[in-house]
Structure 1
Amino acid sequence: MTKTILTMTMLTALILSSCKDTTQQENTQAATTEQVAEDIVKTTSTDKDGNNLEMAFNNTNGTATLNFKGETINLLAKKSASGIWYTNDQYELRGKGNDIELKKDGKVIFSHNDAIIITSLKDKDGQTLDMTINNTTNTAKVYLNGGEQIDLQGQNPASGIWYKNDQYELRGKGDHVEFKKDGKILFKN
């Protein structure tokens, strides 16, 4: 009787153990066959003539779909040193940052370049304020004495310039600029 109980206990343990392994295998298989969502980035750029170029970049597949003047253009990614490069037999799209150029049969049919101003100022104490102002995106990158980059968003001034974030504020008119942190003047020329 003890032998029968022991045998039954061992068989039950084996059956339960094998059922547990099967469930783990099924869960593992289900996890490896899950579909990965595609990484798609959409953006629109406008040239100096007011033409819009709508772009959808599928980073998962390495493709770009463009809409330009009612025409849909499908392109494949190429390896570029920096920026983007997409082509097909007729079209070529290149760009870096917000600057974009679309060619058809080697001829430029669309071009967008951000309006960027780069300047450096010194105050009476010898401090340097380096600024990169992007008038297209209404943003500014500011570096005080070569320090860390401070990103600012453009505001609507009555006149002159005005950029700020939660801590910093840059205001100016003509050749005069004032840069503050939490209301305290850091730079004034």
Structure 2
Amino acid sequence: MIRRFFVVGMLTATVFISCKDNSKQENTDNTNTEQTASKDIVTESLTNQEGETLKMSFDNSKGTAILNFKGETIELSQEKAASGIWYKNDQYELRGKGNDISLKKDGKTVFEHEDDKVDVEVKNNNGDVLTMTFNNTAGTLKAYLNGGEQIDLEQKKAASGIWYENDQYELRGKGDSYILKKEGETLFEN
């Protein structure tokens, strides 16, 4: 008799633990799905020279974009672009690359935003060439030393002149003079 109670108790405990583990597994799977879905949605807001704001929400998993412009909500479908982005519907078309965006309504441009970019190329006495693209709107810099790898830097607040850095590189400059360092060692100076 005691043996029967023991066996029944063990079976009940096994079923209970098994159900509890399945419940945890289902909850874990749902959480991962929600996190993945939220990573597929990207929001962006840009302002043009007239002070108008275009709010954009891109759902990469569905290939759609929801825009809010002048109080109007616009839903667009993604098209295949050679480069950058391209979304459209029967009335609107959104194209762009990076932060450079153009929204057209019935073929007429109704919103346009372009970042303020400046290209600079300098040489030093050793013949080294430093090519730089400053994005003044985003506060970023893309630099190339002697045509080598792209170095991406973020703008920092400088007492005077300019200062950009990342975890390895630092660029400082004033006027037409620039110093590029990697981990404290000077790579370029003019």
Q: Do the two structures share a fold, i.e. TM-score over 0.5? A: yes
Does residue 125 in structure 1 map to residue 114 in structure 2?
no
Q: TM-score, normalised by structure 1?
A: 0.78
Matches within 5 A, 1:33-48: 37-38=36-37, 39-48=40-49
Matches within 5 A, 1:21-60: 37-38=36-37, 39-60=40-61
Corresponding position of 1:65 = 66
Corresponding position of 1:174 = 175
Per-residue CA distance 1:37-69 (angstroms, 9 max, x = gap): 532111111111221111111111111100112
Output the amino acid matched with 2:71.
G
In structure 1, what is the Cα distance between the partners aligned to 2:143 and 2:85? 26
Corresponding position of 1:84 = 85
Corresponding position of 1:25 = none
**Shift, 1:159, TM fit:** 2.2
* Secondary structure of the corresponding residue to residue 50 of structure 1: coil
Cα RMSD of the aligned pairs, angstroms, is 1.9
Corresponding position of 2:145 = 144
In structure 2, what is the Cα distance between the partners aligned to 1:159 and 1:165? 19
Identity of aligned residues (%): 59
Corresponding position of 1:115 = 116
Moved over 3 A (4+): 34-38
* Secondary structure of the corresponding residue to residue 56 of structure 2: strand
Corresponding position of 1:16 = none
Does residue 155 in structure 1 map to residue 156 in structure 2?
yes
**Shift, 1:72, TM fit:** 0.5
**Shift, 1:184, TM fit:** 2.1
**Shift, 1:117, TM fit:** 1.1
* Secondary structure of the corresponding residue to residue 76 of structure 1: strand
Q: TM-score, normalised by structure 2?
A: 0.78
> How many residues matched?
159
In structure 2, what is the Cα distance between the partners aligned to 1:84 and 1:40? 15
Segments of 5+ residues of structure 1 without an aligned counterpart are: 1-29
**Shift, 1:119, TM fit:** 1.6
